[in-house]
Amino acid sequence: MTTTTHNYKALHQDTSIQFIKGIGPKRAQALSRLGYETVGDLFYLFPRKYQDRSRFLPIDKIKVNEHVTLLGEIARIHIRRIKRLQIFELVIRDNTGVVYATWFNQVYLKKIFREGDKVVLSGKVEFYKRLQLSSPEYEILSSEDNEKIHTGRIVPIYPLSEGLWQRTLRSAMNVMVETHADELIEEFLPYSIMKKYEFMDLKDAIKNIHFPESEELLSKARQRIIYNELFLFQFALFKRKKEDKLSKQAFQFKPNPKLIHSFEEKLPFEFTQSQKKVINEIFDDLSKEIPMRRLLQGDVGSGKTVVAALGLLAVVKAGFQAALLVPTEILAEQHYKNISSLLSDWGVRTRLLTGSHDKAVKTNTRYEMKTHNVDIVIGTHALLQEGVKFSKLGLVVIDEQHKFGVRQRAHLIKESEKNLKSPHLLIMTATPIPRTLGLTLYGDLEISTIDELPKGRQPVKTYWITKTKEQDVFSFIVKGLEKNQQAYIVFPLIEESEKQDLQAAKKAFESLSKGVFKDFKVGLVHGKLDSSEKDKVMKEFYQGKIHVLVATSVIEVGIDNPNATLMLIQHAERFGLSALHQLRGRVGRGSQASYCFLFGNPKTDEGKRRLRVLTKSNDGFKIAEEDLLIRGPGDFLGTRQSGVPQFVLANLIQDYSTLVEARKDAQEVERLDPGLEREDNAGLKLKVDEYLKYYEERKV
């Protein structure tokens, strides 16, 4: 190999990749488009897949429908025309026989292949009068190349971008790995961990990820890298959590435990065991000097609001203010009413702050906040605006966290940290976070779970119905209405097709109120109504003056009317699984049996699976897991906001047990050597800092 000493000597982790032999400025640019800038980066440009070229299948052994990789020589090249189709065809020969490879309408191929070239082809075998490979992947071998890199082994196939060729990149990677890995890659995992799992060295792992010596070693290398990703991620989370706690002090309360009892006495029901447990966890946190960072998760209807109300009360009783942040105005208004009435006997001053209030009202509320003339403010994004300040903010509660980004969450706490002390934070979510994600996403939060519904709740009976049965469903609903029950008819509304969606809901409202439901009062509510109109409709619905509520997805979160037992969801295929579960959670909130009918005609298998899952399960956790499986973690919470880093090899679901192990290990390392001061952890410290930097950067 002719590596110039100049390049060889100069290479270190931070060297720009253009100085690697075989890369140069042009290809470096192409690689930078993929996000790889330095030599250190490039070691982590992993193959997207591998091809086993250690043994090629002899042509006389190939069979229809099999996926094969073979090596042969181009015996002939044809270009044929059938009507307007142009067919490019290679006749490939090896010692055992002949096979065809064909491509449609790809004329440029004639510039690529020459008779006599040796090629590796990989693809599915089909039969059209004869055996052939249609549009196979190909790679032309050249006699000048070191064939040990491109054949005769398990060969890496890299992701490419414009200006990059598989063979050039592979050759360059080979130089990198063969010549520089030993010198540049340093182990950073503590010896105890290496030994515990009998891990492959990082050097060898990197070498085998790129140029596997065998399937077995490849799999060991993958295990090692997957562990790396998960371990570093968990370690970074711990570290951040610790720094957060060290650097900030909370207002400390000693909530009076008797408060729980006297609060409960005024309720028309008793707390469930789950609610009690969670309340104790929250009260414990509030009495500590370090700020609470707690996620409260519980299925729809599990009774999170009363728990939050009690927390707010405890803080106010101790002489502080509190904020409740919610994603929609309807929900803010409902919480406002609920909480005001729950706390009415305690002399708590509660205000609502939303975007649609008059300027004068907002100005006044803000003034009251600043001067501590209000105790609890319940609001939407309006709470997050500049200039909104509390005098003595002790607790922030965020409802339906998944509607807010990580950044917004940080903003509210930061604004108030200008008071030197940090408020406690309680985040509530009714989209239960599957355990997998809980650990990773919220590794910096403690988790409380309400895993029990109040007594007497019955699971909502859910049916997936075709349009042809529409009339039967309507008659069923009418029967329920005659027994004084109430119903929701829900229409999807998404931003992209907002106008048409709204139109559809309005039209349905017209025809339903004149048609099947003509003997009942029908109301319409959607996000475009102004807040007083919405308020009026919702109030009438709670009071039972409106029997049927035609609604767009605005009712998804939080709306609580225990007398509503019937729900019909139109175009259910257009909703996500979790969204459907949330919607369904609007019924089944009282003791009567409830029904949910899903009208939908999903085109994909995935869509059908979603609806089927709902008819089978009422368990929010199961549904969330399923949703995660179907959509993957990025989509599940909205990629940008989720705070989940992109792992290269690790998969949160498949590698869950590794994640749990890595988490324990990270905790242990941190316990034994807090701050990683020990010399033998110096390498790890460097790596973690580097990772943290990368992690924090990509979060903003």
Angle between helix 620-637 and 605-616 (nearest 10): 150
Q: Which is nearer to ligand ADP, 534 or 584 (CB)?
A: 584
Which position's Cβ is nearest Mg ion?
558
> Closer to Mg ion at the Cβ: 391 or 563?
563
Residue 306 interacts with ligand ADP (CB under 6 A): yes or no:
yes
**Which run of H or E residues covers position 636?**
helix 620-637
The reply on whether position 438 binds ligand ADP by CB under 6 A is no
Residue placing its CB nearer to ligand ADP in the complex, 275 or 365: 275
Q: Is residue 295 close enough to count as binding ligand ADP by CB under 6 A?
A: no
Closest distance of CB 38 from ligand ADP, Å: 49
Q: Decide: is 562 part of the binding site for ligand ADP (CB under 6 A).
A: yes
97 makes contact with ligand ADP (CB under 6 A): no
Interface with ligand ADP in residues 391-430 (CB under 6 A): 430
Closest separation in Å from C-beta 230 to Mg ion:
33
What is the smallest separation between the CB atom of 616 and ligand ADP, expressed in angstroms? 21
Cα–Cα dist 389/363, whole Å: 12
Q: What is the residue type of 537? A: V
CB of 571 to ligand ADP, least distance (A): 24
269 contacts ligand ADP (rule: CB under 6 A) = yes
Question: Rounded to the nearest whole angstrom, what is the least distance from the CB of residue 253 to ligand ADP in the complex?
Answer: 23
Query: In this complex, which beta carbon is closest to ligand ADP, that of residue 269 or of residue 367?
Result: 269
Looking at the Cβ atoms of 327 and 643, the one nearer to Mg ion is 327
Contacts of 295 (CB under 8 A, 6+ apart): 401, 427, 428, 429, 433, 438, 442, 445, 446, 447, 448
Of the candidates 43, 56, 263, 271, which one interacts with ligand ADP according to CB under 6 A? 271
* Cα distances (Å, whole numbers) of residue 398 to 168, 199, 329: 52, 42, 14
Is 541 near ligand ADP (CB under 6 A)? no
Q: CB under 8 Å, gap of 24 or more: what pairs does 403-412 form? A: 403/327, 403/328, 403/557, 404/325, 404/327, 404/641, 405/638, 405/640, 405/641, 406/641, 406/642, 406/643, 406/699, 407/641, 407/699, 407/700, 408/381, 408/384, 411/384, 412/323, 412/325, 412/383, 412/384
- When CB distances are held under 5 to 8 angstroms depending on the partner's kind, the choice from ligand ADP, Mg ion, none that residue 562 binds is ligand ADP
- Reported as type and span, the H/E element at residue 379 is strand 376-379
- Smaller CB distance to ligand ADP: residue 171 or 275? 275
Which one among 223, 305, 328, 565 touches ligand ADP, defined by CB under 6 A?
305
State the Cα–Cα distance between residues 312 and 395, nearest whole angstrom.
7
Other C-beta atoms closer than 10 Å to the C-beta of 23 total 24
C-alpha to C-alpha distances, 300 to 304, 380, 457, 618, nearest whole angstrom: 9, 20, 12, 10
CB-wise, 305 or 440, nearer to Mg ion?
305
Residue 300 binding ligand ADP, by CB under 6 A: yes
344 in contact with ligand ADP (CB under 6 A): no
User: Is residue 304 at the binding interface for ligand ADP, with CB under 6 A as the rule?
Assistant: yes
Closest CB to ligand ADP among residues 51, 448: 448
Shortest Cβ distance from residue 305 to Mg ion (Å)?
5
Q: Which is nearer to ligand ADP, 272 or 485 (CB)?
A: 272
Smallest distance, ligand ADP to C-beta of residue 271, A: 5
The reply on whether position 220 binds ligand ADP by CB under 6 A is: no
Tell me the closest approach of the beta carbon of residue 266 to ligand ADP, in angstroms. Answer: 12
Cβ neighbours of residue 252 closer than 8 Å, sequence gap 6 or more: 286, 287, 288, 289
Taking CB under 6 A as the rule, does residue 594 contact ligand ADP? Answer: no
Question: Which residue ranges make up the site for Mg ion (CB under 5 A)?
Answer: 558
Q: Whole-number minimum distance, CB 36 to ligand ADP, in Å? A: 46
The answer to whether 694 contacts ligand ADP (rule: CB under 6 A) is no
Among 540, 560, 619, 670, binds ligand ADP (CB under 6 A): 560
**Minimum distance from residue 546 beta carbon to ligand ADP (Å):** 19
Choose between 136 and 558: whose C-beta lies nearer to Mg ion.
558
On the 0-12 / 13-18 / 19+ scale of CB atoms within 10 A, 321 is buried
C-alpha to C-alpha distance for 243 and 225, rounded to whole angstroms? 27
The DSSP letter of residue 179 is I
Stretch that binds ligand ADP, among 146-154, 299-307, 509-517, 539-547 (CB under 6 A): 299-307
Q: DSSP readout, 62-95?
A: --TT-EEEEEEEEEEEEEEEETTEEEEEEEEE-S
* Residue (523 or 620) nearer to ligand ADP, CB: 620
User: What secondary structure, in 3-state letters, does 86-103 show?
Assistant: EEEEEEEECCCCEEEEEE
Where are the alpha helices (H) located in 442-489, listed in sequence order? 470-482
Among 379, 443, 454, 620, interactor with ligand ADP by CB under 6 A: 454
Q: How far is the CB of 584 from ligand ADP (least distance, A)?
A: 12
Neighbouring CB atoms inside 10 A of 457's CB total: 17
* Nearest residue (CB) to ligand ADP, 22 versus 562: 562
- 298 part of the interface to ligand ADP, by CB under 6 A: yes
Q: Which stretch binds ligand ADP (CB under 6 A): 295-303, 361-369, 372-380, 388-396?
A: 295-303
C-beta separation of 260 from 695 below 8 A: no
Would you call 672 helix, strand, or coil by DSSP? helix
Q: Does 151 bind ligand ADP (CB under 6 A)?
A: no
The residue (of 172 and 331) whose beta carbon lies closer to ligand ADP is 331
Mark the segment that binds ligand ADP (CB under 6 A) among 68-76, 270-278, 466-474, 509-517. Answer: 270-278
Q: How far apart are CA 334 and CA 358, in angstroms?
A: 19
How buried is residue 287: exposed, middle or buried, by Cβ count under 10 Å (0-12/13-18/19+)?
Answer: middle
Q: How far is the CB of 476 from ligand ADP (least distance, A)?
A: 25
- Closest-by-Cβ residue to ligand ADP is 303
How far apart CA 154 and CA 53 sit, in angstroms, is 5
Beta-bridge partner residues of 167: none
The runs of H, that is alpha helices, within 371-434 are 406-417
Would you state the structure tokens that stand for residue 235, as one six-digit string?
A: 């370690």
Q: How many residues bind ligand ADP (CB under 6 A)?
A: 17
Q: Are 172 and 21 in contact (CB under 8 A)?
A: yes
Site residues, ligand ADP (CB under 6 A): 269, 271-272, 275, 298, 300-306, 430, 454, 560, 562, 589
